[in-house]
Structure 1
Amino acid sequence: MAPATAFRRSDAAEQARSWSGKVSLTPRILAVNTLALLLLAGGFFYLDTFRSRILDERAAQASREARLMAEALTAIPDARRDWLLARLATDTGTRLRLYDADGVASADSRALGVANFRLDDPDDDSLAKRSARFLDAAIDRVVRAPLAPGYRERADGRRWPDVRAVLAGAPSAVTVWRAPDRTPVITAAAPLPGGRALLSAVNARDITERVRLERFRLSVVLLVVAAISIGLSLFLARTIVEPLRRLARAAVRVRLGRAREVVVPRLPERRDEIGMLARALSDMSLALRARIDATEAFAADVTHELKNPLASLRSAVDALGHVRAPDAQAQLLAIVGDDVHRLDRLISDISDASRLDAQLSRATFEPVDVEAMLAAMVAQREARGVPRGVRVRLDARDHGELHVLGEGARLERVFANLIDNAISFSPDDGVVSVAARRDRSMLEVRVEDEGPGVPEEAREAIFQRFHSVRPTQEGFGEHSGLGLAIARTIVDAHQGEIGVESRDDRLSGARFVVRLPLAARGAVL
């Protein structure tokens, strides 16, 4: 029996995790499994970075195209300028305008019949587009994306920042605008000879459509993964939480004192830790039920055993008041003395038996030399003298190290009870032999007598509490019937076995055998 261990009610680690104990397992499982979904949802914000990179690349491309178109317009005669301007606008998908040094428009691809630059009216958009535009605005606000200036037409070329920069001497200039429907508009300007400037404008709605398409695909993936994750989380929570709740309800009912009517589910189909816990709790409840039954039976037996001497004592005391003869009074006083002695011995044994389990659970086991203990006990018996000429001897000494882990005083009581029992049943001038030997990893102690023996059908009953079969030569009430029961309790606490069997030599008598595990060298428990 291992000693009791003091468990701390809480430590720093438990206190650090105390917040999690306030939340049910189901939301905690859902929270853990949806954490990955939150990381996946972060892809929405990554798309904003993706859009910014595309806009930067498109702006650089617009700046290069503006310079190339400006060089192409410079290389041809003015008579072919409008034709080339329209051709370039058609090929690049941009609106091209020429401004003189005063900012006055001298040519416009739209006026030349190339109507490829168009801004959508957001009021005419469908519900899907309005929802997408609202989502764009929400994400931009969350990620705090810089808001581009709103695009609007300007009659004076010098009011375009790109044109103004080029007229001031810049080699090129580019600006990203925000159309009314939140699509980007990119304008780029390049200088022309004579202080003129070329301005290109393109509505890059393909960038917005591309980002929205990727966002839609990511949303579909996120919804599918979320549905699978939530479904698996709920399944996992159900397979974990529901059995735990059943076990908790059963444990509460056991705690409320309903152990006999509670059936703790064993969950035999589960081979995981919850199944192990269920079976452990079921076994624990069965053991508790058996302990309660044993306690109630013990209480009933104690009541029964105490009533007999008390009834005899009361009868003797009542008779003393009516008896005047000295011999009769002396006889009654002798009965009173025997009953008091019997009650004292019975109460002492009952007290020891009732406290034995608790005391053994707190005991510290140390190596005990059983062979030396038996030799000392036999020597003390011979020195005190044994009644009726019975001899007690120690046979077949092993002369080895027969050490067991245990509490010496308790083990000594086991062997003393067995020797006393053997002496009680031995005939006059009989022999009680005690032997100890090694049997592989076990120590075996035998106590043999030459009495009538124990019938096979009674070999288990004699270890029950208050078993009252005694030898014929022994007076009534000299034993409590708890000696062998106490011996079995002590041996069980030492992880051993005790039993009774017939002698090998087929002579009359009984052999009590105690088997205890041998201790390893230097072991202390």
Structure 2
Amino acid sequence: MASATATAKADPAGREPEDDAAPRRSRFRFGGSRLGGFILALNLLSLLILFGGALALNEWNRGLVQARQESLTVQAELLANVLGELGISRGIPSPELDPYEASAWLRDNFVPQGQRVRLYDINGLPLIDSYQVTENIPGEPLPAARPAGSPPPAGMEKRAARQQALTRESDRQVQAEVERALAGEPQATVRRNEEGERVVSVSLPIRHVRQVLGVLTLEAGNVDEILAAQRSALVPFALVALGVNLLASLLLHLFVARPILRLSAAADQVKLQRARAISLPDLEERRDEIGDLARSLESMTDTLSTRMDAIERFAADVSHEIKNPLTSIRSALETLPLVKTDDQRDRLTALLQQDVRRLDRLITDISNASRLDAELSRDRPRPVDMNRLIADIVGVYETTAKPGDIPVVLATTETTMRVMGRDGPLGQVVRNLIDNARSFSPAGGAVAVTLQDVEDDLPVRIRVEDDGPGVPPDNLETVFERFYTSRPKGAAFGSNSGLGLSIVRQIVEAHGGRVWAENRKDEAGQVVGASFEVALPGVGRRP
């Protein structure tokens, strides 16, 4: 048996075919995206830095206020116990605090820097203020004296009014705190003083045995300074987070934005026809989504370029094939007025009819071939029962057969053969092969259609055999080229366009199969016909 010639396109690089539908896999990916994991890690790092700094600052704020309150409470309890137990009182049996003795004792024993102590009697009236019994006077230096009669500086009245409001509000809060302490309830609060600064205040009742003699209020006013220092401590965290974000932005620009811009510029070059395909080797070597995109765009543009070349060649072939019958028709029409006999006129008329039929068949096949790509891309593949499809097609030939037509004989396997594809184009493959075989079969011959199941990567095999003269060995591959025709003697002129087998190969390869031709020989080695075999991938085979 002569060797078969396969028409499946080989990989030019000699590599194993890859499944384009399978996702590319690599390690260190987040949700299937390596670049997405990189971006997520950088963003989370900057956010964690900010959150860590903010949480640390809040803890410092709460801890600072609580620590100051505890410290002031211990100091106030010590002072209150001393004032109540060391006899700094008079008026027995109704003791009361001696403001002079208490002032002298506080001045000599307790006037710490940054703290303020106040003493109130049983009626809530102020007795002692450490700012009044020491030389430590809060506030800012007084401005220089202005000349007599000059207007006050702008904003002085507003500042004075604001100062008065702050003083009134501070006195109201202190008075409320003292009243609650006189009722026997120790107080620890955070409020604003006369300068608008936040202070931690502790007010405790002074007792002599069980008798409440007054209230001791102790304040610490450096809370805002400490909190400002803590806020300043947050600045390094913010700067580090800003640096990380800037670095992330730079990396995203270098590794994402710029490559995409390069791909866009390369696509514009293809659009402007300055290049036939995108080729960026440095991007194609990347193992992330940008590399996938570059390889996909290169493959897409290369496919488009190949398709454009095929369309150009197809247009050139169509133009050449159409010119032949048109030239013949024009020549016959120019000769027709010159003929003198009816016999010559009949011969020219018959020639014109043949050329018109040839042109009609040619245009019909060209139209079918041009619509084939759109049909293959538009129809959704689905399982096709090849046993039923081939049986229906052969049944149509048997039903429409006329006396003298070449019969079509079917032999199928009992195994149900299914192909994932489109029934319309697959049916066209079978019809084109049968029509081609019938056109070569002599009178009294037959066309045999066989459906087999073989153990192979392409298990579904369709074979169409005829009893014709066979195919020249040198043309076993060229018979699948467009507009190739080699008709036997006696065949009707213009009955074939040379596109049937080309369409067969295009449909079969679109379904992942291959088709080839070979000659049938007898025991003596003589060619007794041609055989065309189609191999397709099968799905869901069952006996």
TM-score calculated relative to the size of structure 1: 0.70
Give 2:488's aligned residue: 471
CA shift, 1:121, in A, is: 4.4
Name which of 322, 338, 341 aligns with 1:322: 338
CA shift, 1:313, in A, is: 0.4
Q: Name the structure where helix makes up a greater proportion of residues.
A: 1
Q: Secondary structure at the match of 1:74?
A: coil
Equivalences for residues 70-109 of structure 1 within 5 A: 70-74=83-87, 85=106, 88-89=109-110
Give 1:222's aligned residue: 238
Q: Which amino acid letter does the alignment assign opposite residue 214 of structure 1?
A: Q
Equivalences for residues 450-465 of structure 1 within 5 A: 450-455=467-472, 458-465=475-482
Name which of 277, 281, 306 aligns with 2:297: 281
Unaligned ranges ≥5, structure 2: 1-38, 91-97, 144-162
In 1, distance between residues paired with 2:180 and 2:506?
105
Q: Secondary structure at the match of 2:284?
A: coil
Give 1:376's aligned residue: 395
Q: Which amino acid letter does the alignment assign opposite residue 368 of structure 2?
A: D
Q: For the structure 1 residues 148 and 63, does the alpha-carbon distance in structure 2 shift closer, same or farther, using more than 3 Å as the test? A: farther
Q: For the structure 1 residues 481 and 199, does the alpha-carbon distance in structure 2 shift closer, same or farther, using more than 3 Å as the test? A: same
Matched, 1:482 2:482: no
Equivalences for residues 28-67 of structure 1 within 5 A: 39=51, 42-43=54-55, 52-54=65-67, 56-57=69-70, 60-61=73-74, 63-67=76-80
CA shift, 1:195, in A, is: 9.5
> Any conservation in 1 of the 2:72–2:218 contact (CA below 8 Å)?
no
Q: Secondary structure at the match of 2:110?
A: helix
> Any conservation in 2 of the 1:268–1:275 contact (CA below 8 Å)?
yes
Q: Which amino acid letter does the alignment assign opposite residue 391 of structure 2?
A: A
Matched, 1:247 2:263: yes
Q: For the structure 1 residues 210 and 314, does the alpha-carbon distance in structure 2 shift closer, same or farther, using more than 3 Å as the test? A: same
Q: For the structure 1 residues 409 and 106, does the alpha-carbon distance in structure 2 shift closer, same or farther, using more than 3 Å as the test? A: closer
Give 1:3's aligned residue: none
Q: CA RMSD in A?
A: 4.8
CA shift, 1:93, in A, is: 8.0
Give 1:515's aligned residue: 535
> Any conservation in 2 of the 1:99–1:105 contact (CA below 8 Å)?
yes
1:46-88 CA distances to partner (integer Å, 9 max, x unpaired)? 7655555455545544543442232244379999978854564
**Alignment: residue pair count:** 462
Percent of residue pairs identical = 33
In 1, distance between residues paired with 2:324 and 2:172?
124
In 2, distance between residues paired with 1:495 and 1:418?
18
Q: Secondary structure at the match of 1:479?
A: coil
Q: For the structure 1 residues 437 and 196, does the alpha-carbon distance in structure 2 shift closer, same or farther, using more than 3 Å as the test? A: closer
In 2, distance between residues paired with 1:162 and 1:517?
92
In 1, distance between residues paired with 2:427 and 2:200?
100
Q: For the structure 1 residues 72 and 316, does the alpha-carbon distance in structure 2 shift closer, same or farther, using more than 3 Å as the test? A: same
1:220-251 CA distances to partner (integer Å, 9 max, x unpaired)? 12211221133124313542333333334444
Give 1:178's aligned residue: 193
In 2, distance between residues paired with 1:293 and 1:123?
92
Matched, 1:234 2:250: yes
Equivalences for residues 111-130 of structure 1 within 5 A: 119=138, 121=140
> Any conservation in 1 of the 2:69–2:200 contact (CA below 8 Å)?
no
Q: For the structure 1 residues 482 and 60, does the alpha-carbon distance in structure 2 shift closer, same or farther, using more than 3 Å as the test? A: same
CA shift, 1:302, in A, is: 1.4
Q: Which amino acid letter does the alignment assign opposite residue 301 of structure 2?
A: S
Q: For the structure 1 residues 41 and 168, does the alpha-carbon distance in structure 2 shift closer, same or farther, using more than 3 Å as the test? A: closer
Q: For the structure 1 residues 374 and 55, does the alpha-carbon distance in structure 2 shift closer, same or farther, using more than 3 Å as the test? A: same
Q: Which amino acid letter does the alignment assign opposite residue 81 of structure 2?
A: L
Q: For the structure 1 residues 190 and 435, does the alpha-carbon distance in structure 2 shift closer, same or farther, using more than 3 Å as the test? A: closer
Matched, 1:421 2:439: no
Give 1:385's aligned residue: 404
In 2, distance between residues paired with 1:107 and 1:299?
107
Q: Secondary structure at the match of 2:413?
A: coil
Q: For the structure 1 residues 74 and 174, does the alpha-carbon distance in structure 2 shift closer, same or farther, using more than 3 Å as the test? A: farther
After superposing the two structures, state which structure 1 stretch, 226-235 or 100-109, moved more. Answer: 100-109
> Any conservation in 2 of the 1:121–1:180 contact (CA below 8 Å)?
no
In 1, distance between residues paired with 2:50 and 2:451?
71
In 2, distance between residues paired with 1:109 and 1:400?
108
> Any conservation in 2 of the 1:309–1:343 contact (CA below 8 Å)?
yes
Matched, 1:68 2:81: yes
Give 2:159's aligned residue: none
CA shift, 1:334, in A, is: 1.3
CA shift, 1:123, in A, is: 10
Q: For the structure 1 residues 60 and 106, does the alpha-carbon distance in structure 2 shift closer, same or farther, using more than 3 Å as the test? A: closer
> Any conservation in 2 of the 1:100–1:106 contact (CA below 8 Å)?
no
Q: For the structure 1 residues 336 and 51, does the alpha-carbon distance in structure 2 shift closer, same or farther, using more than 3 Å as the test? A: same
| Bigger RCO of structures 1 and 2 (CA < 8 A, at least 6 apart) | 2
> Any conservation in 1 of the 2:181–2:215 contact (CA below 8 Å)?
no
In 1, distance between residues paired with 2:67 and 2:435?
100
> Any conservation in 2 of the 1:259–1:285 contact (CA below 8 Å)?
no
Give 2:371's aligned residue: 355
In 1, distance between residues paired with 2:61 and 2:280?
54
Q: Secondary structure at the match of 2:338?
A: coil
> Any conservation in 1 of the 2:206–2:213 contact (CA below 8 Å)?
yes
Give 1:367's aligned residue: 385
After superposing the two structures, state which structure 1 stretch, 423-432 or 277-286, moved more. Answer: 423-432
Q: Which amino acid letter does the alignment assign opposite residue 278 of structure 1?
A: A
1:132-182 CA distances to partner (integer Å, 9 max, x unpaired)? xxxxxxxxxxxxxxx998679x9xx99974897599776766775537594
CA shift, 1:415, in A, is: 2.4
After superposing the two structures, state which structure 1 stretch, 76-85 or 415-424, moved more. Answer: 76-85
In 1, distance between residues paired with 2:348 and 2:177?
135
Q: For the structure 1 residues 80 and 56, does the alpha-carbon distance in structure 2 shift closer, same or farther, using more than 3 Å as the test? A: closer
Unaligned ranges ≥5, structure 1: 1-26, 125-146
> Any conservation in 1 of the 2:205–2:214 contact (CA below 8 Å)?
yes
In 2, distance between residues paired with 1:473 and 1:178?
120
Give 1:444's aligned residue: 461
Q: Which amino acid letter does the alignment assign opposite residue 431 of structure 2?
A: A
Give 1:496's aligned residue: 513
Q: Which amino acid letter does the alignment assign opposite residue 286 of structure 2?
A: R
> Any conservation in 1 of the 2:450–2:463 contact (CA below 8 Å)?
yes
CA shift, 1:481, in A, is: 0.7
> Any conservation in 2 of the 1:148–1:177 contact (CA below 8 Å)?
no
Q: Secondary structure at the match of 1:467?
A: coil
